[in-house]
Amino acid sequence: MEKKSKPPFYVTTPIYYVNDVPHIGHAYTTIIADALSRFMKMSGREVFFLTGTDEHGQKVEKAAAEHGVDPKAWADRVVVRFFDLWKALDCEPDFFIRTTMDLHEKGVQKLFQILLDKGDIYKGEYKGWYCVSDENFLTEDIALEKDGTKICPDCGRKAQVVSEETYFFRLSAYQQKLLDHYASHPQFVRPQSRMNEVTSFVRGGLKDLSITRTTVKWGIPVPGDPAHSIYVWFDALHNYVTGIGYDRDPALFKKFWPASIHLIGKDILRFHAVFWPAFLMASDLPLPDCVFGHGWWLKDEAKMSKSKGNVLDPYVLIHAMGPDPLRYFLLREIPIGLDGNFSHEGFIHRVNSDLANDLGNLVSRALTMIRNYFAGTIPEPGPEEPADADVRKAFEETKDRAIAQYESYALNKALEEIWAFITAVNKYLADNAPWKLHKDPALHPRLARVLLTAAASLRGTAALVAPVLPGSAQKIWEYLGESGSVRDVRFDLLAFDSPGLGQAVRAPEPLFPRVDLKAFLAEETKPAKESAMDEQKPLTPEQPSAPQPPIPAPPVVPAAPAKPLVTYDEFAKMEFRVAHVIEAVKVEGAKKLLKLRIDLGTEQRQIVAGVAETYTPEQLLGKKFIVIANLQPAVIRGVESQGMLLAAVAGDKSAIPFFEADVPAGAKVK
Ligand SMILES: [Zn+2]
């Protein structure tokens, strides 16, 4: 009977902003994509997994200028952080797209031109709130202040209403078409709650979308009108087609487009579920099967964000244990549509209980017994008894159910199914007590049967967990004496019995050493390495133009321990205020110290600051900077200091960030 061939599978992550330091949120999306990609490959499907970086825009331009390099050179330097992290997490995209690549820029310009010719893009006037100091339009979602103005979120200054010439995308023309598509494709947006959100937003009416800026220089120029740059969303979203060969490799594009699943954080749902399908409809391209908005990882019930200081550095979690425990935890703990709370206790508990105890011990016990009792080669076994047949049956059922869960993107449930089987096999070994069978040579055929059943269970388990635990699954595979790679297993051919199984069993090493929570937390709170941004990193090689180039693989930076994480509550206890310097003198006999009298609005105080090697007292007089106002007073060289100023320190030099804007003394800084 001829088998129907399975459709190709195309999975994407959002392209991450290249200026960002990758954190657990980036890691989460990419790990989901990687696990799905590995699963679909093992299901016999042709797979394309795309990730990448968004490299245009003002923030990149600004950071580059601050470092005295051009924006592309800056992007080349910092993009390495993403290459490094994906390698460290065992994530293997088929292509890493960067929006500064020629193949992307050309594709975006071509699509822009098509829509312009069609009349879906037209020139008009954009009116919006603009920050003169940052040369940037504020996003529409920023609320009006009481006085009817808007405040720039980046610098805190008042914004002004400014109009500029811009190109619009005729989004308003697609309202009904989008609603029709949602109605006929109820799985287009998942989970269902997000679909409801999107539908009601579109029902509320769609305005045409400004998609170019004359104020942002670092972007893709509008074809024929280079004073305009194509704005972030029109540029970035099209990576999903340029990355798969749009207008460049028709065969590749035809094979994989439309995408099977766009994985996104729920904060960028509107762009992916409204703007993106409208762009595609306008260019007559088919729509993706599914936009899946995953939840956020929270820390202490708050969304992780840089401003809250509760961002988790993935390296801290993987440097001691490798990538598999983190991959397992993130995928096992919650369904991908919901928010999850990250706690170190929860993480370590999963590692110890599910990985070290359940799976790790099973591998170690079963294989050690095969080594000890039969020198690594299981002899001819006795007949299968009902208890053995039950394990075989449990495996077949587990396999079917786990595969069905993987296929519906319910990775946590797939893992639940597999772990129920692991528990059953542990119980089977306890019930059949091979260590007792071993004592009586007459029972050795029975012993061989029990250990063969255990080995077959482990072999099947290794294959089923391979999408989530690729490194550990391969180790189990090799310990069992299997040849080749577990990733080459095809699920439809995966049987419980395997000729040659248990004939060359190797001594296992502990897969998941138990982690002591106290020791882990202590390790985790050691000082962190400096941001990779400040390091001289190797530049990436010339950008490839072929569709599936290997990702440049710079050496993985050994993860350094981080500063202790503070909770948001701890952070909120600190009081930062604007200090105005009203007196400044040197501290006698201390060449580094200045004694400052500062005005905090409601009171005056004296502080001692170790900045005298960089600043003279005169240079500080009249200046405003940030102090931590509720630090316990300290006596420094006999002088009392009631607070501390904040400054960057490098060697003997220091640099105080002064306020340029006119802020009142004592104003809160948060
Ligand atoms: Zn501003």
Using the predicted structure, report yes or no on whether residue 187 has a pLDDT greater than 90.
yes
Banded pLDDT at 549 (limits 50, 70, 90): very low
DSSP 227-263: EEEE-HHHHHHTHHHHTTTTTT-HHHHHHHPSPSEEE
Max mean pLDDT among 308-312, 365-369, 530-534 falls in: 365-369
Distance 68 CA to ligand 1 centre (A): 22
Distance 661 CA to ligand 1 centre (A): 11
Reported as a single tens digit per residue, the pLDDT across 76-120 is 999 999 999 999 999 999 999 999 999 999 999 999 999 999 999
Of 181 and 518, the one with more pLDDT = 181
Distance 162 CA to ligand 1 centre (A): 14
Segment 344-353 shows an average pLDDT of 90
Q: Which residues of 57-95 are buried (b: 16+ CB within 10 A; e: fewer)?
A: bbbbbbbbeeeeeebeebbbbbbbbbbbbbbbbbbbbbb
Distance 660 CA to ligand 1 centre (A): 12
Max mean pLDDT among 368-377, 592-601, 611-620 falls in: 368-377
DSSP 403-441: HHHHHTT-HHHHHHHHHHHHHHHHHHHHHH-HHHHTT-G
Banded pLDDT at 541 (limits 50, 70, 90): very low
> Which is nearest to 246 in space by CA: 280, 272, 290?
280
Reported as a single tens digit per residue, the pLDDT across 249-291 is 999 999 999 999 999 998 899 999 999 999 999 999 999 999 9
Distance 129 CA to ligand 1 centre (A): 11
10 Å Cβ neighbour count for 385? Answer: 13
Using the predicted structure, report yes or no on whether residue 553 has a pLDDT greater than 50.
no
Distance 213 CA to ligand 1 centre (A): 17
Distance 629 CA to ligand 1 centre (A): 26
Segment 139-167 shows an average pLDDT of 88
Pairing of strands 47-54, 9-17: parallel
CA torsion sign for 338, 339, 345, 351 is: positive
Distance 152 CA to ligand 1 centre (A): 5
Distance 134 CA to ligand 1 centre (A): 4
Of 657 and 198, the one with more pLDDT = 198
Segment 628-650 shows an average pLDDT of 81
Distance 308 CA to ligand 1 centre (A): 20
Using the predicted structure, report yes or no on whether residue 529 has a pLDDT greater than 60.
no
The strand pairing partners of 649, in sequence order, are 654
Distance 156 CA to ligand 1 centre (A): 6
Distance 16 CA to ligand 1 centre (A): 23
Distance 429 CA to ligand 1 centre (A): 66
Of 663 and 81, the one with more pLDDT = 81
> Which is nearest to 71 in space by CA: 107, 106, 99, 103?
99
Reported as a single tens digit per residue, the pLDDT across 460-495 is 999 999 999 999 999 999 999 999 999 999 999 999
* Angle CA 497–502–506, to nearest 5: 140
Banded pLDDT at 188 (limits 50, 70, 90): very high
Q: What is the largest CA-CA distance in the chain?
A: 96
Banded pLDDT at 523 (limits 50, 70, 90): low
Q: What is the CA radius of gyration of the chain?
A: 30
CA distance 270 to 276: 9
Name the token pair of 485.
């790679």
Reported as a single tens digit per residue, the pLDDT across 23-75 is 888 999 999 999 999 999 999 999 999 999 999 988 899 899 999 999 999 99
First to last CA, the chain: 68
Banded pLDDT at 300 (limits 50, 70, 90): low
Distance 170 CA to ligand 1 centre (A): 29
Give the per-residue pLDDT at 532: 35
Give the per-residue pLDDT at 531: 37
DSSP 273-337: IIIHHHHHHHTT-PPPS-EEEE--EEETTEE--GGGT----HHHHHTTT-HHHHHHHHHHHS-TT
Distance 74 CA to ligand 1 centre (A): 22
Distance 142 CA to ligand 1 centre (A): 13
10 Å Cβ neighbour count for 541? Answer: 10
Helix orientation angle between 411-432 and 24-42, rounded to the nearest 10 degrees = 70
To which residue do tokens 């109820």 refer? 186
Banded pLDDT at 535 (limits 50, 70, 90): very low
To which residue do tokens 């093992």 refer? 42
Give the per-residue pLDDT at 652: 75
Distance 101 CA to ligand 1 centre (A): 30
Q: Which residues of 240-279 are buried (b: 16+ CB within 10 A; e: fewer)?
A: bbbbbbbebbeebbeebbbbbbbbbbbebbbbbbbbbbbb
Distance 135 CA to ligand 1 centre (A): 7
Cα-based distances in Å from 2 to 5, 357 = 9, 43
Write down the mean pLDDT value for the chain.
Answer: 88
Reported as a single tens digit per residue, the pLDDT across 418-452 is 999 999 999 999 999 999 999 999 999 999 999 99
Segment 212-225 shows an average pLDDT of 92
Protein residues near ligand 1, an ion, with CB under 5 A? 131, 133-134, 152, 154-155
Distance 14 CA to ligand 1 centre (A): 27
Reported as a single tens digit per residue, the pLDDT across 492-521 is 999 999 989 999 999 999 999 888 888 777
Give the per-residue pLDDT at 454: 98
Distance 153 CA to ligand 1 centre (A): 7
Give the per-residue pLDDT at 634: 73
Segment 328-350 shows an average pLDDT of 89
Distance 535 CA to ligand 1 centre (A): 28
Distance 149 CA to ligand 1 centre (A): 13
171 near 271, Cβ under 8 Å? no
Task: Output DSSP code: residue 272.
Answer: I
Distance 230 CA to ligand 1 centre (A): 21
Banded pLDDT at 659 (limits 50, 70, 90): confident
Distance 646 CA to ligand 1 centre (A): 22
Peptide bond between residue 191 and the one before it cis (omega within 30 degrees of 0): yes
Distance 64 CA to ligand 1 centre (A): 18
44 near 490, Cβ under 8 Å? yes
Distance 663 CA to ligand 1 centre (A): 15
Percent of the chain with pLDDT over 70: 91
Using the predicted structure, report yes or no on whether residue 3 has a pLDDT greater than 60.
no
Segment 594-614 shows an average pLDDT of 87
Segment 453-462 shows an average pLDDT of 98
Distance 123 CA to ligand 1 centre (A): 26
Distance 155 CA to ligand 1 centre (A): 4
Distance 653 CA to ligand 1 centre (A): 29
Of 421 and 529, the one with more pLDDT = 421
* Angle CA 66–210–180, to nearest 5: 130
Distance 20 CA to ligand 1 centre (A): 19
Distance 289 CA to ligand 1 centre (A): 39
Of 308 and 176, the one with more pLDDT = 176
Distance 54 CA to ligand 1 centre (A): 22
